[in-house]
């Protein structure tokens, strides 16, 4: 069994550097939208790549995930700045000859992006951005969860956002990613 490396959530400046590492090309605009969806909605790669434009509701800040883990669907929230990056991509996408059944994040011919592309893209952008941490697509999900935890968002909301079946799963996930309770207890000690 391969050794699992510990999660290394990125800080906001590192994610911004990752976004800035995307080229100013149509593909770069798409890749920025992809990073925004992975980071600000906390989606898994396959969930993000399965989205269609109809699944996004910028007015209500909602993203509908129809093909989540285990075949479950859910609706998650995403902030306005992330929707702005997706809107920029949709403007570029509209200039391509992409059919209505094509995924939100697609190639120029409308075909889906493979998850293997994303697994190579994100580390490459991380290196280009000069990020010292291990940068990978699922790490953006870790970053999202850690940020929610730090912001004091209720664990039940985080659980629903991440699509976990139980709060216990989320508690274990968060303790592994952002052990806030442990660090806060130790930081508060005096001598």
164 is catalytic: yes
Q: Is the dihedral of CA 144, 30, 61, 64 positive or negative?
A: negative
Residue labelled with tokens 């550097």: 17
44 is catalytic: yes
- For the chain, how many helices (H) and strands (E)? 9, 3
| Catalytic, out of 44, 93, 144, 149 | 44
CA 187 to each of CA 17, 72, 151, 177, 183: distance values in angstroms, whole numbers, following the listed order: 29, 39, 18, 18, 6
| Catalytic, out of 64, 67, 138, 160 | 138
72 is catalytic: no
For residues 75 and 79, what is the distance between their CA atoms, to the nearest angstrom?
Answer: 13
| Catalytic, out of 136, 142, 144, 173 | 173
| Catalytic, out of 67, 69, 74, 160 | 69
Residues 6+ apart with CB under 8 A from 11: none
Q: Residue 169 has which token pair?
A: 């799963």
| Catalytic, out of 32, 93, 141, 149 | 141
What number of residues does the chain have?
Answer: 191
Active site residues: 44, 69, 138, 141, 164, 173
């Amino acid at each position: 069994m391969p050794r699992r490396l510990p999660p290394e959530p990125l800080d906001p400046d590192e994610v911004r550097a990752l976004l800035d590492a995307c080229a100013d090309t149509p593909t770069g605009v798409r890749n920025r939208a992809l990073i925004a969806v992975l980071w600000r909605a906390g989606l898994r790669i396959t969930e993000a790549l399965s989205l269609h434009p109809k699944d996004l509701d910028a007015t209500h800040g909602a993203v509908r995930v129809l093909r989540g883990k285990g075949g479950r669907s859910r609706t998650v929230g995403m902030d306005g700045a992330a929707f702005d990056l997706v809107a920029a991509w949709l403007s570029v996408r509209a200039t391509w000859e992409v059919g209505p059944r094509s995924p939100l994040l697609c190639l120029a011919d409308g075909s889906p992006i493979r998850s293997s592309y994303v697994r190579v893209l994100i580390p490459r952008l991380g290196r280009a951005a000069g990020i010292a941490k291990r940068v990978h697509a699922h790490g953006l999900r870790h970053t999202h969860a850690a940020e929610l935890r730090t912001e004091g968002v209720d664990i039940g909301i985080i659980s629903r956002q991440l699509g976990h079946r139980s709060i216990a799963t989320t508690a274990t996930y968060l303790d592994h990613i952002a052990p806030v309770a442990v660090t806060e207890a130790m930081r508060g000690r005096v001598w």
